[in-house]
Structure 1
Amino acid sequence: MSFLVLPPELNSALMFSGAGSGPLLDAAAAWEGLASDLGTAASSFSSVTSGLAGQAWQGPASQAMAAAAAPYSGWLNAAAVQAAGAAGQARAVVSAFEAAQAATVQPVMVALNRNSLVQMVLSNWFGLNAPAIAQLEADYEAMWAQDVSAMSGYYSGASAAAARLLPAQSLQDLLAALPNLGIGNIGSANLGNGNNGSVNAGNGNTGNQNLGSGNKGSFNIGSGNSGNANFGSGNIGNDNIGFGNTGDPSTSSNPGANFGIGNTGNGNFGVGNSGNLNVGGGNTGNGNLGFGLSGSNLIGFGNAYYNSATGQFTFAGLNSGVGNFGIGNSGTNNIGFFNSGHHNVGIFNSGTNPYSANAFTNIGFGNSGFFNFGFGNSGTGNTGVGNAGIVDTGFGNSGCRTPASETAAHSTRASGIPVTQTRASEIRETQTPASGIRAT
C-alpha cells in the first residue's frame, strides 16, 4: 500500500523501527573501497603493458598484445568511476533518509495523541470536551500530513539518486569489443586461427567459447566435437564426456550425454554401447548393465544375464548368437570378448554392417559404428581413436573427410586472396629423358 494513505501510526513506526542508515553507510564504504581497488588495478595494468610494449617487448606480437590489453584497461577505469558514483549515490540516499526521519513525527507523540483522544471521549459529559477533542483531531491530521510530506521527500531523493546510477559495462560487452589474436578469425576475442565465432581458444572452431580445435558448436572442451558442451574429442551431440560418442536425435530432443568412449545413443556410461542408458561395454539395446548384452533391461555378461523386466535368469553358455568365438559375445560371427554386434573382431564392439552380412564390421575395441579400425569409434570407415565422423583417420574427428578429387579447384586464403589449384593431370611439363629424346 502507498505511504500516502497510511496513517501516522504506521508511517512513523516504519520509519523508526528499521535498521536506519547504517547498512547504506556500509554499502557506500564498500563501493568506495571497490572504486579504489579498481583504480589501482587499472593503473598497474596500464603500467605493466605499456612498459612491456615500450621497452622489453617489441614487434607485431607486442602491438597485438597492447591492442588486446587496451579494452581491459579501459573497462577497469570505467568500472572504478562507476563504483565511485555508486558510493556517492548511496550517501545521497543516506542523506535523504536522515532528513525524512528527522521530519517524521515521533511514534510516541502519535500514541499520546490517540490516548488523549480516547480519554476525552470517555469523559465528554454534556459535550464539555468537544473543543479539546476537535483540537486533538486537528493535531492528528497535521501529524498525518507531516509524515506523508517526509515520506514524499524521502521517495524523491532516493529516486533521484537511483536515476543517476549508470549501468556498468558487462564483461560480455567487453569481450565483444576485443580484437582477435590470430589469423583468419571471424568474430571477437578469439585466440588462434580460422575460428568463426567469439571467445574461442584454438584453431578452426565454429561457434562460441570453445577450448580446442575443430569444434562445431559452443562450450566444447577438446577437439573435433560437433554439438555443445562436450568434454573430450570426436563427440557428436551434446553434453558428452569422452571420445567418439554419437548422440541419437531420434530418441531425445537433447541427444548425447554419454560418458565413455565410442558409444552410440544417449546417456550411456562405458565403452562401445549402442542404445540408451547402458552401463558397461559392448551392449546393444537400452538400460543394460554389464558387457556384451543384446536386448534391454539386462544385467550380466553375454548370454548369462538377469532380465529386470521379466524377473527371469538366463544361463545359456558363454556366447549367444551364431558363429561367435570368445566369451560374452551376443551377436553373430564375432571374434573376441563381449561383442554385441555382428562380424566384429575385438572387445566391446557393438556395431553392425548394414550393407553386407558377411563382411567384418569393426576391428578393435569399443567401436559402435561400422567399418571402423581402432578404439572407440562411433562413425563409419574411421581409422584411429574416438572418431565419430565418416572416413576419418586420426584422433577425435567428428566431420567427414572430403576426397582430394572432390576438392574445388579454387579456394581462398584467410587474407581473402584467391588461390588457383591445378590437379596433377592438368599440369603440362616438358621433360628430357635420359635417352635425350624431348618429351612433352
Structure 2
Amino acid sequence: MSFLTAAPEITSLLMFSGPGSAPMLEAAAAWDGLASELGSAAESFSSVTSNLVGGAWQGPASTAMAAAAAPYSGWLSAAATQASGAAAQAKAVASAFESALSATVHPVVVAANRSSFVQLVMSNLFGQNAPAIAAAESDYEQMWAADVSAMVGYHGGASAAAAELTSLPQLLQSLPAQVSAQLSGINLGLGNIGNFNLGSGNTGNTNAGTGNTGSYNLGSGNTGTVNVGAGNSGSGNIGSGNFGNYNFGFGNGSAWSRPLGGDGSTHISTPSNYNLGNGNVGSYNLGSGNLGSGNVGSANTGSSNLGFANVGNNNIGFGNNGSGDIGIGLTGNNEIGIGGLNFNTSSWNIGFGNSGSFNLGLANTGSFDFGLANTGSHDIGIGITGDNQIGFGGFNSGSGNVGLFNSGVNNSGFFNSGGGIPGLGGGGNWGLFNTGAANSGIFNSGSFNTGLFNSGTFDTGLFNAGSYDTGILNPGSYDMGLANAGAHTAGALNAGNYDMGYLNAGLQNVGYANAGYYDTGVGNSGSVNTGSFNSGFLNMGAFNSGGTHAGSGGAFNSYTGNVGFFNSGTVNTGIGNSGDFNTGFWNAGSGVTGFGSAADLGTVSGWGNSGAHSSGFFNSGDYTSGYGNAATNASGFDNAQGTSIVSGVGNSGAGGDSGFYNSGNGGDVGFFNSGTGNNVGFFNSGTGENSGPSSNGAYNVGFNNSGAGENTGWGNSGGFDSGLSNAGVNNSGFGNTGDNDSGVFNRSNHQSGFFN
C-alpha cells in the first residue's frame, strides 16, 4: 500500500507505533565504532610496518614487504572513511524520520475526528448536523494531506541519504591492482606456489596470510579471491567462514551433504552473496539467520521482508505468517494490523472481528456496516439485526452470549464474534474481541488459545500466528520462545525447524546463527559441524569452509579433510598447507610430511592411522579426520566404531550425530542425547525429534516434556499441549488436566477460561 493513498488512521498509527529512529541511531553508532576500529587498525598496521623497515630488517625482502603492506594499510584507511560516511547517512535518515514524525498528525487527533464524525452522523436525524459533518470531513482531509506531505518529505530525505552510500565491493575491487603495482614477483615465506605472496603455504598470487588457495586474499585459509578474513570460500568476503561472494560477516551460505541411503550422499551447495550479517542462507540480506534473500532483519523465512521472524515474502513487521503483511502476528496475506486486529485488503474490513465485507467497527457479520455487532447490512449503529438501519438494537446479536456486543454464539465477555464448536457443548470464547472459538483472552482470532492476539490454534502467549506455540510472536508451529519462524524450535528468532538457540536458519541446529543442518555451535552454515562459523560439512572447529575438518580447536580450513589451522588443500594435518595429503607446515605440494615443500609425494597424512584416506592421529576408521576415531566419515575425537557421518567428540550413536557424547541412533545434535534419533539439545532420552533439554517423549519442543508427542512448553505430560504442566490432550495454557481446554487449571473437557 502506498503512503500517497493510505488514510491518516493507517499512516499516523504506523509512524507513532513503530520503533522510531532508535534502531537507525544504533546503526549509526555501530558504524562509528567500526570506523574507529578500522582507523586504529590502519594506524597500527602502518606503525608495525614502519618499525620493521626502520629497524633490524633491511634489504630486498624488507623493501618487498613494505611495498606489499602499503595497499592494505591504504585500504583499511579508506574503509574507515567509508564506515564514517555510512554513520553520517544513518544519522541523516534518523533526522528525516524525526522531522516526518513531528509533521504527522497524532493518531489520537485522527481518532477524535472520526469519533466526532460518527456521533454527528448518528444524531443527524433531521439533517441539523450537516454543517458540522462537513466541517469534520474538511478537518479529516487536512489531516490526510498533512500525513502525505510528511511522508513525501521522509521519503525524499531517506532516498538522498541512501544515494550517498558506496558499496564495499567497489572498494575491494581496487585492492588487487594496488597490490600488483607495488610487488615485483617476490614471495616472502615458505611453501608458496605462485607470485607476490606474503606468508606461507599459499597457492595463488598476491596473498597476505597463510594457507590460501586463490589470489589477493588478506587472511588465512581462504579459497577464492579478494577475501579479507579467514576460512572463506568465495570472493570479496569480509569476515570468516562465508560460502559465497561479497559477504560482510560470518558463516553466510551453505555447503552441506544429505545422505541418500547406504553410504552414498549428495552435496548441495547454496552460495550466498552480498549479505551484511551472520548465518544467512540467501543473498542481499541485512541481518542474521535469514533463509531467503533481500531481507532487512533477522530470522526471516522468505524474501524481501522488513522485520523479524516473518514466514513469507514482502512483509513489514514481526512474526507474520503470510505475504504482503504490515504488522505483528498476521496469518493471512496483504493484511495490516496486529494479530486478529487488522485491516484486510481482500475483505476491506477495518476493525476487529468483522466477518463480512467493507465494514468499519467491531464484530460486524454483515456488509457495509459502521458500528458494533451488527448482523445486517448497510447499518450504522450497535447490535442491529436488519438492513439499512441507523440506531441501537440488542447489545448481543448472537445467541447464548453473556456480556455486551457479542455477535457470535456461546461467548462470555465483550465484542466476541466467534462461536461454539459443534458437538463440544458450547465451547465459546471467554474474554474480549475474540473471533475464533474456545479462546481465553483478548483479540484471539484462532481457536483454543490462551493470551492476546493469537491467530493460530492451541497457542499460549502473545501474537503467535502458528499453532501449538508457547511464547511470543511465533509464526511457526510447535515453537517455544520468541519470534521463531520455523517449526518445533526452542529459543528465539529461529527461521529453521527443530532448532534450539537463537537466529538459526537451518535444520536441527543447537546454538546461535546457524544456517546449515545438524550443527552445534555459532554461525555455522554447513551441515553436521561442531564449532563456530563453519560453512562446510562435518567440520569441528572454527571458520572452516570445506568438509571433514578437525583439530584441537581446528580453525580457518577451507577445503576437505584437514586437521589444524589455515589449510586450504585436501586431507592436510598441520598449519598453512595448500596442497593435498600433507603433514606439517606451509606445504603447497602433495603427500608431504615436513615444512615448506612444494613437491608432490605420497597419499597419507598424520601418524598412527590404520584406516584409509585418514588425516590426523591414530584413526582406525576410513575417511576420518581427527584423533582416535573408529567410525567411518568421522571428524573429531574418539568417535566410536559402528557410527558414520559424525562430527564432534565421543559420539557412539549409529550415525549423523553432531556434538559431544551422543549415544542415540542417528541424527542427534547437541550434548549427551540418548534417544533413538533426531534429537536437538541436551539430555534428550525420548524416541526422537525432540528440541530442547531433558525431554523423554517424542516430537516435543521445550523442557522436561514427557508426553506422547507434539508438546510445546515445560513439563507437559499429555499430547499436543502448548504451555506449562498440562496433563490432558490438545490443551493451551497452564495446569489443564482435561482435554481440548484453553486457559488455566481446567479439569473438565472442552473448557475455555479458568478453574472449570
Using structure 1 for the length normalisation, give the TM-score: 0.54
State the Cα distance separating 1:378 from its structure 2 match: 2.5
Change (3 A) 1:318 1:53: same
Distance 1:58 1:305, change over 3 A: farther
**Larger helix share, 1 or 2:** 1
**CA shift for structure 1 position 262:** 0.2
> Would the alpha carbon gap of residues 64 and 198 (structure 1) be closer, same or farther in structure 2, given more than 3 Å must change?
farther
Q: Which residue number corresponds to residue 296 of structure 2? A: 259
Partners of 1:409 and 1:196 in 2: how far apart? 15
Is the aligned partner of 1:306 residue 2:466? no
Offset at residue 353 of structure 1 (A): 6.8
Of 510, 513, 520 in structure 2, the residue corresponding to residue 386 of structure 1 is 513
Cα distance in 2 for residues equivalent to 1:244 and 1:378: 5
User: Counterpart of 1:68 in structure 2: which amino acid?
Assistant: A
Are residues 275 and 259 of structure 1, via their aligned partners in 2, closer, same or farther at CA, if it must alter by over 3 Å?
Answer: same
1:335 equivalent to 2:460? Answer: yes
Question: 1:193 deviation in Å?
Answer: 1.4
Which residue is 1:412 aligned to?
Answer: 572
Compute the TM-score of the two structures, normalised by the length of structure 2. 0.33
What amino acid sits opposite 1:273 in the alignment? Answer: N
Which one of 200, 206, 214 corresponds to residue 179 of structure 1? Answer: 206
Corresponding position of 1:219: 246
The aligned residue for residue 476 of structure 2 is 351
Structure 1 runs of 4+ with >4 Å offset: 48-51, 56-59, 61-64, 70-73, 174-178, 402-410
SS of 2:527 mapped into structure 1: coil
**Structure 1 Cα separation of the partners of residues 303 and 323 of structure 2:** 10
Which structure 1 segments of 5+ residues have no match? 1-45, 74-169, 248-255, 428-440
Moved more, 280-289 or 332-341: 332-341
Query: Offset at 1:327?
Result: 2.2
| CA distance, structure 1, for counterparts of residue 285 and residue 321 of structure 2 | 19
Instruction: Give 1:305's aligned amino acid.
Output: N
Identify the residue that residue 88 of structure 2 maps to in structure 1. none
Q: 1:58 to 1:389 in 2, by over 3 A?
A: farther
Unaligned 5+ segments in structure 2 are: 1-45, 74-173, 181-195, 197-204, 254-271, 354-434, 436-441, 480-485, 529-536, 541-546, 549-559, 563-570, 583-604, 607-614, 621-627, 631-637, 639-756
Q: Is the contact between residue 244 and residue 273 of structure 2 (CA under 8 Å) also seen in structure 1?
A: yes
For 1:221-370, list aligned pairs within 5 A. Answer: 221-226=248-253, 227-247=272-292, 256-313=293-350, 314-315=352-353, 316=435, 317-352=442-477, 361-370=488-497
More strand by share: 2
Q: Which moved more, 1:413-422 or 1:268-277?
A: 413-422
The match for 1:371 is 498
CA contact (8 A) 1:175 1:199 kept: no
1:175–1:188 contact (8 Å) kept in structure 2: no
- Name the counterpart of 2:216: 189
- Whether the 8 Å CA contact 2:487–2:496 is kept in 1: the answer is no
CA distance in 2, matches of 1:264, 1:323: 26
One-letter amino acid of the structure 1 residue matched with residue 53 of structure 2: A
What do you get for the CA RMSD once the two structures are aligned? 3.7
Does structure 1 conserve the Cα–Cα contact (< 8 Å) formed by 2:275 and 2:286? Answer: yes
Alpha-carbon spacing, 1:306–1:58, altered in 2? closer, same or farther (3 Å) = farther
Structure 1 pair 62–345 and aligned structure 2 pair: CA distance change class (3 A): farther
Counterpart of 1:53 in structure 2 is 53
Quickly say closer, same or farther: Cα 1:328–1:380, change in 2 above 3 A: farther
Q: What does 1:19-30 correspond to in 2, within 5 Å? A: none
In the aligned structure 1, how far is the partner of 2:309 from the partner of 2:72? 46
Deviations 1:406-433 (A, max 9, x none): 9598822442303334054649xxxxxx
**What's the secondary structure of 1:310's corresponding residue?**
coil
How far the C-alpha of 1:180 sits from its partner, in A, is 1.4
* Alignment partners' CA distance in 1, 2:478 and 2:516: 16
The whole-number CA distance in structure 2 between the counterparts of 1:233 and 1:72 is 24
Alignment CA distance shift 1:385-1:53 (3 Å): same
Percent identity, please.
46
Q: Contact 1:280/1:291 (CA < 8 Å) preserved in 2?
A: yes
**Structure 1 pair 383/294, CA: closer, same or farther in 2 (3 Å)?**
same
- Report the CA distance shift for 1:392/1:72 in structure 2 as closer, same or farther (over 3 A): closer
Give the 3 Å change call, closer, same or farther, for CA 57–265 of structure 1 in structure 2: farther
Q: Is the 8 A contact 2:228 2:239 kept in 1?
A: yes
C-alpha displacement at 1:220, in angstroms? 0.8
User: Take 1:63 and 1:335, find their aligned partners in 2: how far apart are those partners?
Assistant: 68
Give the conservation status (yes or no) of the 8 Å contact 1:318–1:327: yes
